Structure 1
Amino acid sequence: MISISLCMIVKNEEEVLARCLDTIKDIVDEINIVDTGSTDKTVEIAKQYTDRVFFFPWTGDFAAARNKSFEFATKEYILYLDADDVILEADRVKLQNLKETLDPSVDSVSMYYDAGTDEFGNVTLRYRRNRLVKRSRNYKWKGEAHVYLEVYGNIINSDISITHKKIRHSVGRNLNIYQQKLERGDVFGPRDYFYYGNELRENGHYEKAIESYQKNISMQEGWVDDKIHACLFMGDCYRFLGDSANELSAVLKSFEFGKPRVEALCRIGYHFHRKRDWKTAAYWYEIATQYPEDPEQWSFSYPAYRTWYPHLQLCVCYYNLNDFEKAYYHNEEARKYRPEDERILHNKRLLEPKI
């Protein structure tokens, strides 16, 4: 059986730290917590779980803080979590089994990061991260805001999920980090432009976000999945700006970088949906419902686009096409994922007398 060091960086996490540690404390062999300047009871709570609490002054550089936390690990493998992460019971069982059976020749184990869930427990945003890494490989974190662990070697993909349960969002924090990089004259790479675009978009700066996405797309370097999502997010920006033609062009441009993503298909469907071209919209939504999940995908995945969302939209399309049986069928498919969604229940009441 391998041994595991948990490494965390924290700051003012008194509301969530115990919730996190309670889901992992009996699986790992060591807990290392690096506090970067808490002014609440975070350190006091941390010390209830471990005597390995360390301090590192916050410099605005997430990679530096995460790398420091890794320096305190003493076990064979390092697992990292954020304070607002939890491991659900089914995943705790899988993680314990992984610990007992992992081949020590493995350098890294990737796990799903379920970064968002809806009120019905459905995952809304999922992607993979190298989550359990061999300490002797001395992997390093890179970047300042949206950091990544530079990993190579023998990597395996697991079906374990780490679930993110954020209480509040740090509005503008990462955007400020990127703006400071620009002010310093730092050279941006394709990854920087992609994530800077995301921060701009999420903070309502749509024109600037489009510029940043275009810079990402125009560079030959960079991860192709980032370019695909840059196209999709650029399309969203155009939609928010009321530019329907450029919205569709941006989404279709994502096809240049690989097979169509289900997120693109639903966006195209919604483009025609808003034009009340119900047949064309239904065509794209139907394709989306037939797309299976790719368990090997590392980049952003939004499961709603292959589950309840296209079915709910198909209900609307077929209702407007007077095909009430198909409308009812797709509404029932959507209800499997969101059984108490009032929109779906309203559709059910509306359609039942018609079939």
Structure 2
Amino acid sequence: MIEISLCMIVRDEESVLKRCLDSIYDIVDEIIIVDTGSIDRTKEIAKLYTDKIYDFKWIDDFSAARNFSFSKGTKEYLMWLDADDFILEEDRIKLKNFKENTEPIYDQIFMKYNVGFDDQGNVTLSYYRERIFRRSMDFKWVEPVHEVINPGGDIYYLDIAIVHGEKVRKKNDKRNLNIYENILAKNQTLSPRGSYYYARELYYNQLYGKAIKYFLEFLDSNKGWQEDCIQACKLLSLCYAKMGDSINQLRILFRSFEYHVPRADICCEIGQIYFERSNYESAVFWYEMAIKKKNLIENNGFIYHDYYGYIPALQCCLSYYRLGNIEKAIYYNDLAGTYKPKSPAFLYNKEFFNRIDK
């Protein structure tokens, strides 16, 4: 059996904190809440679960706040959650069993993180994230934004999911961008990871030209993590699309193959470019390649689940229809339906093909 301190940083989380703590309070052995400046009922809610509540002056540095929360944990292992995270009952049972039947042999435990969902609640985006740490190893969070603990020691990947839900309150979309730009204004240098995430914030804030510059600098440094490089290629392609540069939009997606074998989502992005050019034969090639890919969650890799079957099947249906091959179009629409039988797109296509078949 292992003992766990849950260490959280919070601010104005009254809409989601109870849901989070209800899902975890009876599994962990200690709850640490570090508040960075709440003006709502966050602390009042936290007091229902723990008396270990601390204040931390916000200094535009998530790692500093998380390291402070870890410093307050006293148990053998330290675990983190965001306030809008929670655990479903099936995974709660699994986590309890793991905790009660595991010897303290691991230094760092990664858990699945489900962060994207469709209208029916199906998971569309997931990846593994560092989640539980042996306290004696003194792991430290790094990076002021999009903080991370670098992998180290004896690592274990636990097939139990944390759900990342949506906050009710509106997020400040420029918060992260402002933190990075304040760092640069002080003539401080961003790390390779920081450069990637700064470029990403520029993209999210529709500063596409500047985002292109920083994405390219990040990729050309050859110092980024494999997954960050692949994601940078995807976002850079979208930047080029916004700038009307279709040539580089395609080229940068092919560059992603330098870092790993083609991912299904990358294949679909390439297929979509050819589809929009009315080059349906080339589009089909890349969509069919995506369908052949196996949906395996790799260590620290992002998995966009719908691209491993549903999306490329739908797009093959459309492409073959444009090519005049109705039989193939129907085949691929039916294939899409095996992944999502309640999909409005699948059902619409099915009704359409039934009409033209009469």
Q: Is the shorter-chain TM-score for this pair beyond 0.5, marking a shared fold?
A: yes
Letter in 1 for 2:154: N
User: CA offsets, 1:182-219, max 9 Å, x none?
Assistant: 10111122211111111111111111111111011111
1:178 aligns with 2:191: no
Q: CA deviation at 1:280?
A: 1.0
Letter in 2 for 1:42: T
- Is the contact between residue 84 and residue 166 of structure 2 (CA under 8 Å) also seen in structure 1? yes
Relative distance call for 1:49 and 1:172 in structure 2 (3 A) is same
Structure 2 distance, partners of 1:242, 1:343, is 28
Q: CA deviation at 1:170?
A: 3.0
Instruction: Identify the residue that residue 137 of structure 1 maps to in structure 2.
Output: 137
Instruction: Identify the residue that residue 60 of structure 2 maps to in structure 1.
Output: 60
1:292 aligns with 2:316: no
Equivalences for residues 205-354 of structure 1 within 5 A? 205-354=207-356
- Is the contact between residue 116 and residue 125 of structure 2 (CA under 8 Å) also seen in structure 1? yes
Instruction: Identify the residue that residue 17 of structure 1 maps to in structure 2.
Output: 17
Q: Any gaps of 5 or more consecutive residues in structure 1?
A: none
User: Which SS does the other structure have where 2:288 is aligned?
Assistant: helix
- Is the contact between residue 190 and residue 215 of structure 1 (CA under 8 Å) also seen in structure 2? no
1:34 aligns with 2:34: yes
- Is the contact between residue 2 and residue 77 of structure 2 (CA under 8 Å) also seen in structure 1? yes
Structure 1 distance, partners of 2:44, 2:61, is 24
Relative distance call for 1:169 and 1:318 in structure 2 (3 A) is farther
User: Which SS does the other structure have where 1:140 is aligned?
Assistant: coil
Q: TM-score by structure 2 length?
A: 0.95
Q: CA deviation at 1:344?
A: 2.3
Q: CA deviation at 1:135?
A: 1.1
Question: What is the number of residues matched between the two proteins?
Answer: 355
1:108 aligns with 2:132: no
- Is the contact between residue 272 and residue 283 of structure 2 (CA under 8 Å) also seen in structure 1? yes
User: Which SS does the other structure have where 2:278 is aligned?
Assistant: coil
User: CA offsets, 1:24-52, max 9 Å, x none?
Assistant: 11111111111111000000001011111
- Is the contact between residue 200 and residue 209 of structure 1 (CA under 8 Å) also seen in structure 2? yes
Structure 2 distance, partners of 1:65, 1:312, is 45
Structure 2 distance, partners of 1:121, 1:330, is 23
Q: CA deviation at 1:279?
A: 1.3
Structure 1 distance, partners of 2:322, 2:37, is 57
User: CA offsets, 1:68-106, max 9 Å, x none?
Assistant: 111111111111100001111222122112112223111
Instruction: Identify the residue that residue 50 of structure 2 maps to in structure 1.
Output: 50
Structure 2 distance, partners of 1:72, 1:127, is 28
Instruction: Identify the residue that residue 76 of structure 1 maps to in structure 2.
Output: 76
User: Which SS does the other structure have where 2:125 is aligned?
Assistant: strand
Q: Any gaps of 5 or more consecutive residues in structure 2?
A: none
User: CA offsets, 1:128-173, max 9 Å, x none?
Assistant: 2110111111111001011001341000111111111122433111
Q: Hey, which bits of structure 1, 4+ residues long, moved more than 4 A?
A: none
CA RMSD of aligned residues (A): 1.5
Instruction: Identify the residue that residue 99 of structure 1 maps to in structure 2.
Output: 99
